[in-house]
Amino acid sequence: MTKDSRLILVGQVGGGFGVRGEVRVTAFTADPLALTEYGPLLRADGSVGLSLTSARPDKNGMVGRAREIATKEEADALRGLKLYVPRDRFPEPEEDEFYLADLIGLEARGVDGGVMGRVKSVQNFGADDMLEIAPAAGGPTWYLPFTREAAPELHLADGWLLAVPPNEVGEREPG
Q: Which tens digit of pLDDT belongs to each residue from 39-95? A: 899 999 999 999 999 999 998 899 999 999 999 999 999 999 999 999 888 888 888
Smallest Cα–Cα separation from 10: which of 66, 49, 58?
Answer: 49
pLDDT computed for residue 3 by the predictor: 47
SS (H, E, C) the chain: CCHHHCEEEEEEEEEEECCCCEEEEEECCCCHHHHHHCCCEECCCCCEEECEEEEEEECCEEEEEECCCCCHHHHHHCCCCEEEEEHHHCCCCCCCCCCHHHHCCCEEECCCCCEEEEEEEEEECCCCEEEEEEECCCCCCEEEECCCCCCCCEECCCCEEECCCHHHCCCCCCC
pLDDT computed for residue 168 by the predictor: 63
CATH T-level topology, domain 100-167:
SH3 type barrels. (2.30.30)
pLDDT computed for residue 170 by the predictor: 53
- Indicate if the alpha-carbon torsion angle 88, 45, 146, 107 is positive or negative: negative
pLDDT band at 99 (very low <50, low <70, confident <90, very high): confident
- Spatial separation of the C-alpha atoms in residues 100 and 123, rounded to whole Å: 10
Per-residue pLDDT reduced to its tens digit, 1-31: 444 458 888 999 999 999 889 999 999 888 9
pLDDT computed for residue 1 by the predictor: 43
pLDDT computed for residue 155 by the predictor: 93
Contact 106, 119 (CB under 8 A): yes
Give yes or no on whether 3-89 and 100-167 have one common fold: no
Rounded to an integer, the average pLDDT of 131-153 is 94
β-sheet with 160-162: strand ranges across: 142-145, 129-135, 115-124, 107-109, 160-162, 154-155
CATH T-level topology, domain 3-89:
Elongation Factor Tu (Ef-tu); domain 3 (2.40.30)
Rounded to an integer, the average pLDDT of 150-163 is 94
Largest CA distance in the chain: 62
pLDDT computed for residue 5 by the predictor: 59
Residue spans of the domains in the chain: they are 3-89, 100-167
pLDDT computed for residue 124 by the predictor: 83
